Amino acid sequence: MDKLKLAVLISGRGSNLQALIDACGDPDFPAMIVHVVSNVADAYGLVRAADANIETTTLNHKDYKDRESFDAALTVIVENSGAELICLAGFMRILSAGFTERWHRRVINIHPSLLPDFKGLDTHARALAAGHVEHGCTVHHVEAGLDDGPVILQARVPVVAGDTPETLAARVLLAEHTLYPQVIKILANNPELWL
């Protein structure tokens, strides 16, 4: 069976990208990363991609006059890469409705909360402030709007006594690194979920 071709979009550290790279290193894993795009030139994830011999492009949003023209350039890169699915992994840009419609159901994102709780930033501090006993992460289809779109799968972690935003974030991040490859495997084996 042909492997599902992924483009991964990043803006920074790229630990979720690394989890996907590692998963794709297993010959039995049903997906491969064909391209990594960063909107930040010094994102560490670009180093991770280069180390894994994956083609990369830096697309600086500041070089584009508006969101639509940046997203149009992004579409050209993804089309040329042959990617079938676009995985956002710490990509800190809101995508235009034109982009999410062009790639309808084919853009997925990982978010560090149990959506619909805590869209946006600082999810761990907000979960603690709200007194939640459970927190986690979500992989979802991306639709226009912040952290919007149908949930594909979530992973839950406990909030424990003495947690700080940092300790909770570390626990959630470990869960993210398992969840994202797990979802990719499900989508690769069930194309009706994204085609």
Q: Shortest Cβ distance from residue 101 to ligand GRF (Å)?
A: 22
The residue number with the shortest CB distance to ligand GRF is 90
Q: Crossing angle of helices 15-24/165-189, nearest 10°?
A: 40
Nearer to ligand GRF, 164 or 189 (CB): 164
Residues that bind ligand GRF (CB under 6 A): 12-16, 89-90, 110-112, 137, 173, 176
First to last CA, the chain: 17
Enumerate the active-site residues.
111
Nearer to ligand GRF, 115 or 187 (CB): 115
Q: Shortest Cβ distance from residue 2 to ligand GRF (Å)?
A: 26
Asked whether 13 and 90 are in contact (CB, 8 A), the reply is: yes
Nearer to ligand GRF, 144 or 173 (CB): 173
Q: Shortest Cβ distance from residue 152 to ligand GRF (Å)?
A: 14
Asked whether 144 and 96 are in contact (CB, 8 A), the reply is: yes
Cα(171)–Cα(28) distance, integer angstroms: 27
Other beta carbons less than 10 A from residue 143's beta carbon: 16
